Amino acid sequence: MRRAVFLDRDGVINRAEMRNGKPHPPMSLSALEILPGVPKALRVLREAGWLLIVITNQPDVARGITPLAIVESIHKNLLTKLPLDEIRTCYHDDNDRCDCRKPLPGALLSAATHHRIDLCASFMVGDRWRDIEAGESAGCKTIFIDYGYNERRPTRFGYRVQNLTEAAEIILGSDDEED
């Protein structure tokens, strides 16, 4: 079995666009900004043997706000620039009631089956309650990047950090605990 770090996209990998205290995805490829420290944090995790899988909700496609082609161009760019193994995307809205939309764990569970991942030995890193709840439901350890958004917050999480660099230090430290 393998270990993975599941990562939310907006707010974890790239800068979220803030509107009224709430995070939103970039609306175009030109608006995409990879957060400081992310390339190095991902490289160090990859070198330590972790699979790196982005799990992202992109409901603006279903809502008709963002064209599918824009989201796909952002993902292609991220896969080119960063050492990611995969990006799994839910394009549904809450009303679609799919199991791949966080906070449900369907995307993590299907990735685990596909890649033979031990979920209990894996981490979910996110900046919103939906990410953390999905990770908890899947049986992963969770790391909450707390930006103080003006929205519902997770009630349970394993660790609270300020960025992916701090999250990577915790994940790498977990290797020492297992020895």
Of 10, 60, 127, 131, which is the active-site residue?
10
61 vs 65, 130, 151, 165, CA distance in Å? 6, 18, 22, 30
What are the DSSP E strand ranges found in 70-174?
Answer: 86-90, 123-126, 141-145, 159-161
Please confirm, yes or no, whether 8 is among the known catalytic residues: yes
In whole angstroms, give the CA distance from residue 82 to residue 65: 26
Of 8, 60, 127, 131, which is the active-site residue?
8
Which residues does residue 14 pair with via DSSP β-bridges, in sequence order?
A: 10, 34
Residues classed as catalytic: 8, 10
